[in-house]
Structure 1
């Protein structure tokens, strides 16, 4: 859904890893967890699909490969084998969303032109009347120039 229509893509899906500092690391080729952990020795890697509220967080085995199209997190060792609290899950979701937005994942590579939603401008006087009356009724005025003001702000996608 949204404004961005799907497009043919020549690039392969990547395994995406959200690091503890919030950066996104992408792997376009198969890579073992042990290789990733060499650069991040104070953490463990887990698959985002296997994380749930109040459920124990478990690590992916070091000999397993990160799979293309999957999202992974590098988490501190202190979280290993402990239940994931809702606040922690929320913080991870925000961190992942921010990292993915910064990377512009896919939008430049495939030529997709995602745009923000721009509302249709409404005359300022009509907007005031709609808010004041609470009904959205519109009265027609005489011709002439009007000031236009958007009722909604842009919603980036």
Structure 2
């Protein structure tokens, strides 16, 4: 007979905030927006779930609590009354993916999975990031394609170089 033990990895949900410089800040407990903005008085916080191409970005109220399991962006006040463009969404997606991949402490593929966003009809045939086509075709809200952001490939011959994230399109 022997002694058996097992280990179960428990993932704790956190509120993730992506700052303007690409740094990730995580809270494992609810925190008020006003607390985060104390160091950023000329900025606002928005929920990534509420960001949509062509719509205005809405700021969270200072009394609101950041919800665990959600992703937020700290943006300058100058972006508050501007409609968000596809290029802006793509840049924020790349920044978020990069920050999340850098913060991952395990080599588990699930934890290092790239962010995937649906491509809308308004974004088809648009060129962003290194002139790659974002999407084409379509019907409905999306066109059956997805944008994959932040999928890094490292080779043995990379000699320690860090490859920048690329924006790719894959057919589903």
The TM-score range, normalised by the shorter chain, is 0.5 to 0.7
Shift of 1:88: 0.7
Match in the other structure for 2:65 = 65
d(CA) in 2 for partners of 1:97, 1:40: 22
Q: Secondary structure of 1:46's match?
A: strand
Alignment of 1:88-107 (within 5 A): 88-104=88-104
- Spell out, residue by residue over 1:109-136, the C-alpha distance to the aligned partner (whole angstroms, 9 max, x if none): xxx73399xxxxxxxxxxxxxxxxxxxx
Shift of 1:155: 4.8
Match in the other structure for 1:74 = 74
TM-score with structure 2 length normalisation?
A: 0.58
Match in the other structure for 1:13 = 13
- Spell out, residue by residue over 1:9-31, the C-alpha distance to the aligned partner (whole angstroms, 9 max, x if none): 42420000000000000001110
TM-score with structure 1 length normalisation?
A: 0.63
d(CA) in 2 for partners of 1:98, 1:74: 16
Alignment of 1:75-154 (within 5 A): 75-104=75-104, 108=106, 113-114=108-109
Shift of 1:81: 2.3
Match in the other structure for 1:150 = none
Match in the other structure for 2:50 = 50
What runs of 5+ residues in structure 2 fail to find an aligned partner?
Answer: 1-6, 113-151, 155-172
d(CA) in 2 for partners of 1:16, 1:49: 12
Is the helix fraction higher in 1 or 2? 1
Residues 59, 38 of structure 1: CA spacing in aligned structure 2 closer, same or farther, 3 A cutoff?
same
Task: Check if 1:36 corresponds to 2:31.
Answer: no
d(CA) in 2 for partners of 1:57, 1:113: 34
- Spell out, residue by residue over 1:39-58, the C-alpha distance to the aligned partner (whole angstroms, 9 max, x if none): 11121000000000010001
What runs of 5+ residues in structure 1 fail to find an aligned partner?
Answer: 1-6, 117-153
